[in-house]
A and B are shown apart, each in its own frame.
Chain A
Amino acid sequence: MTTKTRLPAPPGPFRESFWRSPVRGPWLTSVLGLLLLAGIPVMFVTGLLSYAAYNPDLALVNDETPDKGLLGFYLFSWPTHPVWLYRLNQGTHVTLGLMLVPIVLFKLWSVLPKLFEWPPVRSLAHLLERVTLAAVVGGIIFELVTGILNIQTYYKFPGNFYPLHLYGAWVFFAGFVAHAAIKMPALVRSLRGHSMIDVLRTNLKDTRPEPLDAGGLVALRPGPPTISRRGVLAFAGGASALVGLLSVGQSLGGPFRKTALLAPHGQELAGANPDFQVNMTARDAGVMAAQTTADTWRLTLLTEHVTPAAGPVAGTDTVKSVTTLTRADLLRMEQHTVSLPIACVEGWSTDNQTWTGVRLSDLARLAGVPQPLSMLTRSLQRGGAFSRAVMSVEQVMAADSLLALRVNGADLTLDHGYPARVIVPDCPGVHNTKWVASLTFRR
């Protein structure tokens, strides 16, 4: 290799003397990094589980990202127990994601001089590492922003949320793992270098810069400190706690919902649906009360013959209408009462509600398919991605899985799915189809 002539760094942030913070340094960066090292994998795992909860492999209508390829390798049939599983998973994913926003910002602040490193590329290894950093930094912000806009129903991102958030997560996580692996020795070294107890005992007056490091994080000409290191940690942790406290109530429900001052479902509902939250009103779904009267509404039970490998057998004669039922017919069947929450992919959820209705397994038997391969639910709602959903055999056969007619001792309200809705334990809210028009049992 030829000897390179070192260009002098341009003035401003490219010069190390530009950076003056006396608390910036590998120790502080490592502590913030450690927090993310704990939080990000939880986000990734709960995110993948959230995707698995749709049972995307069961049917095309369940899959928002049918071209996922290898990125769906881990999918499994989503369980129905314990009944709070999905609620916990989504609440964790969304609340933790919000709480990581301040930690990510503090972490980005702590490594700012790295963006302006001079020379910008020292070696091939350095170049490749900086490219992984683009995936890490761009990826985490992209994931946070798309997630945060989605839970506010502010769909301004470039495309459908599901592919953006899923594929974006893989791009980010690949970068994150590489970054964590490469930086792990440095992280361990700096954390071992200073005792946390000492840092927590050090006030502003005694705060000193870390010893100069090869990484260029420690200021060459540090100014006098205006905040201690424990102050920075309390600052970041306090911001994270505040964001969490002001939103976790929408997932805890009950008396805590009032504490979620800044969260989409931190308000008690008034008016037509005082019991619990909804995320798609009848008006929004295009369902009219006139479609749901005793004269107009019928539940159609169908069967469909499928070959497991090829999906539905070609030709429409494989679908047979078995029977139609009125709401009164359904109410004459054996009624069961279960206690289940409604939990949304967007993180909010309700306490357990008391649902009364007919078991899905009883309806399967009535249709002549006591052990269906799966069940397709169609809604009255006008189009939309979730006007249809397919349940697995485990979900159909679970004792708690109902076609609910009543909730909390009264008929369902129109917004909660009157005349009948599906309620299946641990099922994402959007798959608990409301205003059910037909159930197709596949065999």
Chain B
Amino acid sequence: MRWFRRLYGSNPLHLLVTIACFAIAGYAANKLRAGDVKGILVWLAAAVIGHDLILFPLYAIADRSVMAVFRRRPPRLPAVPWINYLRVPVVFSAILLMIWWPLIFRLPTDFTAKTDLSLSPYLGRWLAVTGGLFLLSALAYAVRLAVSGGRRRSPSRGEPASSLMSAGRDYSGR
């Protein structure tokens, strides 16, 4: 048993599970060979890296930039942490856009012919939902400020440097 672990790197069950996985996945993937193989491979590759190498750097840089900009501004930022009141409506709105962009940008050309429904409401609805989210967030922050404002009024000693959405503070390698 020990020799197996040393050679393979895990227990035999691990090997059995991965082989079973490859057998089933391979069987199913083989069925896809009848179709547009190149297109499918491109899609799969994009799906594998889509979040980690494209989306993540974008949102991490955006998150860091916002924090950096506000840190450099003349201070008098409220002491109550504000970043999540910005993150939440931005991310909620972005996820809705990420799901519904074809409808929002009126891209499915057959939609009206098929469904007898109009494509025009979706952009307005998304914008309205986005506006509502920001409004709610602003209200929540105002309440939060009012509650804590009674206690203490002091300028920010700067934002915490790292954040949920930007895991790395030091892209420069500092």
User: Is A108 a contact of B52 with CB atoms below 8 Å?
Assistant: yes
Let me know if A193 is at the binding interface, CB within 8 A: no
Docked Cα-Cα span, A347 to B128, in Å, equals 24
Residues of A within 8 A of B99 (CB): 98, 101, 148, 243, 262
- By the criterion CB–CB under 8 Å, are A281 and B83 in contact? no
**Interchain nearest-CB distance for A93 vs B (Å):** 15
B2 within 8 Å of A by Cβ?
Answer: no
Are B168 and A20 interface neighbours, CB within 8 A? yes
Bound Cα distance from A109 to B163, whole angstroms: 12
Residue-wise, chain A 107-132 has the 8 Å CB interface mask toward B (1 for contact) of 01100110100000011111011011
Q: Which of A22, A123, A139, A153 has the most CB of B within 10 A?
A: A153
Q: How far is the CA of A280 from the CA of B115 in the complex (A)?
A: 6
Complexed CA–CA distance, A219 and B170 (Å) = 13
Contact assessment for B15 and A128 in the assembled complex, using a CB-CB cutoff below 8 Å: yes
Is B96 on the interface with A (CB-CB < 8 A)? Answer: yes
Residue of A nearest to B13 (CB): A181
Give the secondary structure class of B's interface.
helix
Question: B91-106 toward A: CB 8 Å interface, digit per residue (1/0)?
Answer: 1100110111011000
Q: Kindly list chain B residues whose C-beta atoms are within 8 Å of the C-beta of A231.
A: 84, 164
Instruction: From known contacts A125-B10, A223-B161, A278-B115, infer whether A18 and B168 are also in contact, taking CB-CB under 8 Å.
Output: yes
Q: Which residues of A contact B6 (CB under 8 A)?
A: 1
Known: A226-B81, A262-B126. A283 touches B167 (CB 8 A): no
Interface segment out of the listed B32-40, B69-77, B147-155 = B32-40
A280 proximity list for chain B (CB < 8 A): 114
A200 within 8 A of B: no
* Contacting residue for B43 out of A126, A157, A225, A246, CB 8 A: A157
What CA separation (Å) do A97 and B20 show in the bound complex?
26
Q: Verify if A267 is at the interface (C-beta below 8 Å from B).
A: yes
Does B146 belong to the interface (CB within 8 Å)? no
Inter-chain residue pair count (beta carbon < 8 A) = 258
A106 to B161, CA, bound (A): 21
B residues 34-82 with Cβ under 8 Å of A? Answer: 34-36, 38-40, 42-45, 47-48, 50-52, 55-56, 81
Is A277 a contact of B17 with CB atoms below 8 Å?
no
List A143-164 residues whose CB lies under 8 Å from chain B: 145, 148-149, 152-154, 157-160, 163-164
B28 at the interface (CB under 8 A from A): yes
User: With A226-B160, A271-B116 in contact, do A69 and B17 touch (Cβ < 8 Å)?
Assistant: no
Chain B positions within 8 Å of A128 at CB level: 14-15, 18, 22
Contact call A154/B107, Cβ cutoff below 8 A: yes
**CB neighbors of B among A246-290 (8 A):** 246, 261-262, 264-265, 267, 269, 271-273, 277-281, 283-284
- Inside 8 A of B110's CB, which chain A residues have their CB? 153, 284
**Could you tell me the distance between the alpha carbons of A245 and B163 in the complex, rounded to whole angstroms?**
28
B147 to chain A, nearest CB (A): 14
Q: Mark A230-246, 1 if CB is under 8 A from B, else 0.
A: 01100100110011001
Question: Chain A residues with Cβ under 8 A from B81's Cβ?
Answer: 204, 226
Contact call B25/A272, Cβ cutoff below 8 A: no
Q: Does A345 count as interface, using CB distance less than 8 angstroms?
A: no
A224 at the B interface (CB under 8 A): yes
CA distance A159 to B36 in the complex (A): 6
CA gap between A415 and B17 in the complex, in Å: 51
Contact of A142 among B18, B43, B113 (CB under 8 A): B43
Whether the Cβ atoms of A224 and B96 lie closer than 8 Å is no
B31 surroundings in chain A (CB, below 8 A): 65, 67-69, 71, 163, 167
**B118 beta carbon closer than 8 Å to chain A:** yes
- How far is B87's CA from A222's CA once the two chains are assembled, in angstroms? 20
Contact A277 B25, beta carbon cutoff 8 Å:
no
Q: In the complex, how many angstroms separate the beta carbon of B164 from the nearest chain A beta carbon?
A: 4
**Known contacts A105-B51, A226-B159: A152-B8 contact under CB 8 Å:** no
A226 touches B167 (CB 8 A): no
A280 to B13, CA, bound (A): 50
Q: Is B88 an interface residue (CB 8 A)?
A: yes
Residues from chain A with Cβ under 8 Å of B167 in the complex: 18-21, 24, 109, 112-113, 219
Judging by beta carbons under 8 Å apart, are B88 and A137 in contact? no
Q: Which residues of B contact A (CB under 8 A)?
A: 6-10, 14-15, 17-18, 20-25, 27-29, 31-32, 34-36, 38-40, 42-45, 47-48, 50-52, 55-56, 81, 83-84, 87-88, 91-92, 95-96, 98-100, 102-103, 107-108, 110-111, 113-118, 121-122, 125-126, 128-129, 159-165, 167-171, 173
A–B Cβ pairs within 8 angstroms, 13 of them: A11-B173, A18-B168, A141-B51, A154-B102, A157-B43, A158-B39, A170-B25, A171-B28, A231-B84, A264-B111, A269-B116, A269-B117, A281-B114
Closest 3 pairs between A and B when the two form their complex, measured CB to CB: A223-B162, A123-B9, A158-B39
15 A-B pairs besides A11-B173, A105-B95, A132-B18 with CB distance below 8 A are: A69-B31, A112-B52, A115-B52, A135-B21, A142-B43, A174-B23, A174-B28, A225-B162, A227-B84, A235-B84, A242-B92, A265-B115, A277-B117, A283-B113, A415-B116
